[in-house]
Amino acid sequence: MREQLLALQEQALVDLAEAEGNALDAWRVKYLGKKGELSLALRSMSKLSAEERPVVGQVANAVRETLEAAFASKFAEWEAKQAAIQEEKETLDITLPGRTRSVGAEHPLQKIIRRIEDIFIGFGFTVEEGPEVEWDYYNFEALNLPKDHPARDMQDTFYLSEELLMRTHTSPVQARTLEKRRPEWPIRIIVPGRVYRRDDDDATHSHAFTQVEGLVVGKGVRMSDLKGILLTFAKELFGENQEIRLRPSFFPFTEPSAEMDIRCIYCGGDGCSTCKHTGWIEVLGCGMVHPRVLEMGGYDPEEVTGFAFGMGVERIAMLLYKIEDIRQFYQNDLRLLKQFASLPE
Ligand code: PHE
């Protein structure tokens, strides 16, 4: 009988070690319940002799105590585990908003470039590009600026070697395009891109900035075509009532040359600090393509004529977005970038 009780205890402890959750309750009923194994065993004590009974009774009580204690500690352990799981569930706050992935936006300069491109594409132009590291030949010589030409001083730049430099304007793409195209086919291109000058950076100057060049070459292209295109462009960009004026100027690669001013978009011409009380703001250089430039590009200036223009993108972006320091375009300050990211065209 004694052995039977101890075997029962051993089996019960083995089962308990594996029990979890509902199985724990089942275990309690099986071993400690009213009709459980232990009760059954005790019932058969009646068959024992009077001497044996108290001895076995003691063993039976010890077994009960052992099993009850084992159960209590196992149950407490399980409860603690449940509490921990519950707590973890509660710290998972399902009311937190999801993580939004921020999508990049176009840089304000890029926006203006795209706007300019769209306008000229509407006029039938195509978009070309050229290298920022440029040969002296295309940047200067092919644009009628020989090595000793004084106008080179206005466009000092970073030289990589005697013949290789950071381009000072997008005009070398004029020369490259003339060279590349068949002379009998008309040209109508714009060229956005970055250019470099040996300038000290301040609120209105940067050693690297952005231009958009334009070039039209064909039979019978006249100065009035240039003015018409530029006026239409200015109206598209600044508004239906925008006025422009052309002022005589000089570029070695155009003849005649002009600067285009727009009526001040802030004061409408009355005079303010932005237009320095002149009522006009300069936005680009232009002119009729110099016959020597056409010639060097393989075109016959007796057969075809052309016009070209070059504008500073920063200048236009500063006017449209009311940005007062050119350096803000390059500092990548998110406060500025976000401010213009959502602006309508
Ligand atoms: N390339 C000139 C500049 O950077 C602008 C220009 C372009 C002038 C085309 C005339 C024709 O100042």
- With respect to residue 342, please indicate whether it lies within any of the assigned structural domains: no
Q: For residue 112, is it within any domain?
A: yes
Whole-prediction pTM value? Answer: 0.72
Mean pLDDT throughout 202-219?
Answer: 96
In a domain, 50, yes or no: yes
Query: Of the candidates 45, 62, 89, which is a domain's last residue?
Result: 89
β-pair partners for 263: 280
* 195 and 79 housed in the same domain: no
Please check whether residue 315 lies inside any domain of the structure: yes
Average pLDDT of the chain to the nearest whole number: 91
119 and 16 belong to one structural domain: no
Same domain, 150 and 281: yes
User: Residue 9 and residue 14: Cα distance in Å, rounded?
Assistant: 9
- 36 shares a domain with 147: no
Q: How many domains does the chain have?
A: 2
**Residues 80, 115: one domain?**
no
- Based on the domain organization, do 268 and 329 belong to the same domain? yes
- Are 57 and 184 found together in one domain? no
Mutate to test the pocket of ligand 1, among 199, 211, 251 (most ligand atoms within 8 A of CB): 251
Residue 99 located in a structural domain? no
Q: Give the Cα separation of 306 and 254 in Å (integer).
A: 9
Q: DSSP class of residue 300?
A: -
DSSP assignment, residue 313?
A: H
Q: Is 286 in the pocket of ligand 1 (CB under 6 A)?
A: yes
Judgement on whether residues 14 and 124 belong to the same structural domain of the protein: no
Domain boundary among 89, 118, 135: 89
Whether residue 97 lies inside any domain: the answer is no
Residue 214, ligand 1, Cβ within 6 A:
no
Residues 124 and 250 in one domain: yes
Q: What's the pLDDT at 242?
A: 97
3-state secondary structure of 49: coil
342 confidence band (pLDDT: 50, 70, 90): low
User: Cα separations (Å) of 184 from 155, 253, 303, 336?
Assistant: 33, 21, 9, 47
Q: What is the spatial distance between Cα 36 and Cα 117, in angstroms, rounded to a whole number?
A: 90
Report whether 59 contacts 42 (CB < 8 A). no
Which sign, positive or negative, has the C-alpha torsion 6, 7, 11, 17? positive
CATH number of the domain where residue 119 is located: 3.30.930.10
* Mutational pocket test of ligand 1: of 169, 209, 246, the residue with most ligand atoms within 8 Å of the beta carbon: 169
DSSP secondary structure letters along 99-160: PPPPPP---HHHHHHHHHHHHHHHTT-EE----SEEEHHHHTGGGT--TT-GGGGGG---BS
Is residue 324 within 8 Å of residue 203, measured between CB atoms?
A: yes
Probe residue for ligand 1, chosen from 174, 253, 311, 313 as the CB with the greatest number of ligand atoms within 8 Å: 253
What's 218-274 look like in SS3? ECCCCHHHHHHHHHHHHHHHHCCCCCEEEEEEEECCEEEEEEEEEECCCCCCCCCCC
Query: Does 344 map to a domain?
Result: no
Residues 147 and 82 in one domain: no
Do 213 and 122 share a domain, yes or no?
yes
State the residue for tokens 């176009």: 106
- Asked if residue 172 has pLDDT above 80, the reply is yes
Does ligand 1 come within 6 angstroms of the Cβ of 287? Answer: yes
Cβ of 252 less than 6 Å from ligand 1? no
Residues 114 and 214 in one domain: yes
Cβ of 36 closer than 6 Å to ligand 1, yes or no, is no
Q: How confident is the model at residue 343 (pLDDT cuts 50, 70, 90)?
A: low
| pLDDT digits 0-9 by tens, 63-110 | 888 888 888 888 888 888 888 888 888 777 788 888 888 778 889 999
233: CB partners within 8 A, 6+ apart = 116, 119, 120, 123
Rounded CA-CA distance 210/134 in Å is 15
What are the pLDDT digits (tens) for 224-261?
999 999 999 999 999 999 999 999 999 999 999 999 99
* Single residue among 57, 89, 121 that ends a domain in this structure: 89
Q: Which residue minimizes the CA distance to atom 5 of ligand 1?
A: 310
- Containing domain of residue 21, as a range? 2-89
